[in-house]
Amino acid sequence: MKIFVTGGAGYIGSHVAKTLGDLGHDVLVYDNLSTGNEWAVLHGRLVVAGLEDKLTLARVLKEYSPDAVMHFAASIVVHESVISPIKYYLNNTACTLNLIEAMLDAGVGRLIFSSTAAVYGIAQGVPVLESAPLNPINPYGSSKMMNELILRDASGAYGGSFRHVSLRYFNVAGADGEGRIGQVYKNATHLITRALKTAKGELDRLDIYGTDYPTPDGTCIRDYIHVEDLAHAHVLALDYLSGGGESVVLNCGYGHGFSVREVVAEAKRVTGADFNAVECGRREGDPPELVAGNGKIKSVLGWKPVHDDLEYIIRTAWNWEKKLA
């Protein structure tokens, strides 16, 4: 199949594009390289352009005429979204509208959308199910929730001719098992990446944000999912839509979590570095525990995780991080 991948030069998009290419699909990556990298596009063609450029988007989409679109391009830093909300509504919500409009014009009717657990805000239940209320607590989560609502309405209005799978990612981590691609954000904010940069000596300390949460060890619990298991979920979602599946929203996580302290201990073990981890106050907007209910993705897509293993997640991320040095 021909797959149009927005943000395919970024962290998650490049892993999915790689998986699609390995499976023999034809891939066109559409990325403005604002955070992505040309070298991360291992298969297919790269068009360097933004989704705000409606003329280029419409032209490239029509010329390529894909069987489906996978939409990763987005701004993703929660803290930044609080300071610069308009950037998030433009890059995430307005650009997704542009994409949907261009897809409808070009007669492309299948979309796999990168959503996020941030749409739940402070989840009331653990694990959190897709039916839980959407109550984002920052503009990043709101911008993605709006996209979900737009997609719901578009699917309702255009029936079978426009269908989507929205995948709500939990904490995506790890890297390509062969070490070819991985995370390369400037000023990385994610726990595992920051822990590894501290182990490497690039940062002088890792802050542990909050030790007084209502969890067994007082630190926040997250559901860390290896990026290749997430990539496989996208392939299954593509098969599902190609087989006539109806629009659906699915959580992507393993269904259990690790505390910050547990992640730090495992990062120290994997790297062999007893790095400096300092207990600090809470970071604003962090829910105490966020774990995916994953029964739906397993039953709807037949998804079976193969890397549900914190050691593997950290080891692949560490191999990548060392390569960056």
Q: Is 188 helix (H, G, I), strand (E, B) or coil?
A: coil
Nearer to ligand UFG, 290 or 301 (CB): 290
Annotated active-site residue in 88, 140, 213, 254? 140
CB atoms within 10 A of CB 194: 18
Distance between CA 97 and CA 177 in Å, rounded?
35
Per-residue b/e over 40-54, b at no fewer than 16 CB within 10 Å? bbbbbebbebbbeee
Shortest Å distance, C-beta 305 to ligand UFG: 18
Catalytic (active site) residue 120: no
Distance between CA 60 and CA 98 in Å, rounded?
13
Shortest Å distance, C-beta 56 to ligand UFG: 27
Nearer to ligand UFG, 73 or 76 (CB): 76
**Which residues, other chains included, contact 87 with Cβ-Cβ below 8 Å and sequence gap of 6+?**
75, 80, 81
236 CA to centre of own chain: 16
Q: Are 83 and 39 in contact (CB under 8 A)?
A: no
Shortest Å distance, C-beta 300 to ligand UFG: 22
Q: Kindly list the residues in this chain that would bind ligand UFG in the complex (CB under 6 A).
A: 76, 78, 116-118, 140, 171, 189-191, 194, 206-209, 220, 222, 260, 283, 286, 290
Nearer to ligand UFG, 80 or 286 (CB): 286
Nearer to ligand UFG, 61 or 220 (CB): 220
Shortest Å distance, C-beta 208 to ligand UFG: 5
Q: Annotated catalytic sites, by residue?
A: 140
